[in-house]
Amino acid sequence: MYDLVILGGGPAGYLSAERAGEAGLNTVLIEKCHLGGVCLNEGCVPSKTILYSSKLFSQAKHSQGFGVTVGDAAFDLKKVMTRKEKVIGALRKGIAATMKKNKVTVVNGEGTVLPKENNAFRVKAGDTIVEGKKLLICTGSEAIRIPIPGADRDFVYTNREILSIDHIPENFVVIGGGVIGLEIANFFAEVGSKVTVVELLPFIGGPIDSDISAALKKEMEKKGIVFKLQSKVVEIGEKSVVYEAGGNKESVDADIVLMSVGRRPVTKGLGFENINLFIDKGAIRVDERGRTNVPDVWAAGDVNGVSMLAHTAYREGEVCINDILGKNDRMRYHAVPGVIYTHPEVATIGLTEKEAAHEGIEVTTAKLPMSYSGRYLAENEAGKGFCKVVVNKETRALLGVHMIGSVCSEMIFGVAPMIENELRVEDIAELVFPHPTVSEIIRDTVKHAK
């Protein structure tokens, strides 16, 4: 019998397996498809790989402003996709090697939880039944498809199909102006499609800071992306998307449609009722240590529906394993960064002004343009992007940082320990940042919060 059975080999599952194996737990990891899950195979990694190509292409076309002239820049989708597969392949091999190194048994098959027998959890995967003392569920999430007429047409894709597309559509329509929709809209706009984003809400980017959302929309519009806000898609026609806006029905031409209206935890049909697992609104309910309502059963990653990000999934997996090992650890969600990998990028952490007001916290804010940073000015076109900070007016502690501009994604982690440790404006002013770096903008903006 295994010490631990892990169901699902995405970021939550494979990181947990690695940590469990390292700690000497006899561990089995069950994965129905490829190790790496959505993140590696049809999410974070493929999207960032192709986005890097479209960014290079765009930069090549606009390099004259930096004194560099290149010949006719061309974009070869086939080569881009081949490179993407190579990146995925290398990382998949890396995960498999890590499993081997940590003596984790990997079973390839779709796992279903059976009723417990002789005090053991039992999971059936194909012809194999594995038994374990403890169970960690990491079955992740899947794309939601809204049930409107035409939603099953063959040119309506989810993230899975769109990231392996073999041609660049003339008219590309994204349903949903959230993170995933915006990143993929950015890619197609940069490689020449006419892109329209249809979004139900009056803003894009979901719960991000409203100034950042407005700035991002402007930047995306400069790329030619058309936004139809407060618009509800009601039908997908022969070659069009039909939506309602302000009481009128309108339509936009579409060769390919990306349905990007959110994701739902994978909890159905997996036998969870056999162990009386509590599922709340489709997600496995967990506490801050990843424990479910069933003793000796934990859940980590998208399946708990809390944060739905790969880096959260990693940390949740780690917290579960620490709890299993009897170590004191818990999830702290207030300092988890979020990034939108558009060009420019958006990176955000902690409370927005609106969220702080909602929590009844009086705040002061400050905002500096990215062009305040010498390094940013040297390497980017002036004027784009800014950094905004939210500070507790009474305690002077930093509560949130919200940025738009290239390379933001690489800086935001530095804010996490500041928020976790409740650093005040005065504490941050004493930190030494390397010069010239764009990250200095964080310290400088914080200093402006009066």
Binding residues for ligand FAD (CB under 6 A) = 7-13, 30-33, 37-39, 43-44, 47, 110-111, 138-141, 159, 180, 266, 270, 301-303, 308-311, 313, 341
CA nearest to 439, candidates 408, 400, 393: 408
The residue among 9 and 205 lying less far from ligand FAD, judged by its C-beta, is 9
SS3 287: coil
Exposure string for 178-192, b = 16+ CB within 10 A, e = fewer: bbbbbbbbbbbbbbe
| Whole-angstrom distance, CA of residue 203 vs CA of residue 206 | 7
**Is the separation of the CB atoms in 428 and 449 below 8 Å?**
no
Question: What's the closest the beta carbon of residue 243 comes to ligand FAD, in angstroms?
Answer: 22
The residue among 111 and 385 lying less far from ligand FAD, judged by its C-beta, is 111
The residue among 158 and 445 lying less far from ligand FAD, judged by its C-beta, is 158
Question: What's the closest the beta carbon of residue 371 comes to ligand FAD, in angstroms?
Answer: 27
The residue among 127 and 362 lying less far from ligand FAD, judged by its C-beta, is 127
**Is the separation of the CB atoms in 230 and 200 below 8 Å?**
yes
Question: What's the closest the beta carbon of residue 449 comes to ligand FAD, in angstroms?
Answer: 28
Q: Which among 62, 334, 358, 435 is annotated as catalytic?
A: 435
Question: Within 10 Å of residue 310's Cβ, how many Cβ atoms?
Answer: 21
The residue to which tokens 């959260």 are assigned: 312
Question: What's the closest the beta carbon of residue 379 comes to ligand FAD, in angstroms?
Answer: 23
311 catalytic? Reply is: no
**Is the separation of the CB atoms in 48 and 179 below 8 Å?**
no
Handedness of CA 111, 45, 442, 209 (dihedral sign): negative
The residue among 304 and 392 lying less far from ligand FAD, judged by its C-beta, is 304
**Is the separation of the CB atoms in 17 and 99 below 8 Å?**
yes
Q: What is the length of the chain?
A: 450
**Is the separation of the CB atoms in 225 and 189 below 8 Å?**
yes
Question: What's the closest the beta carbon of residue 66 comes to ligand FAD, in angstroms?
Answer: 27
Contacts of range 369-372, beta carbons closer than 8 Å, 24 or more positions apart: 370/403, 370/404, 370/405, 370/438, 370/441, 372/441, 372/444
Active site residues per annotation:
435
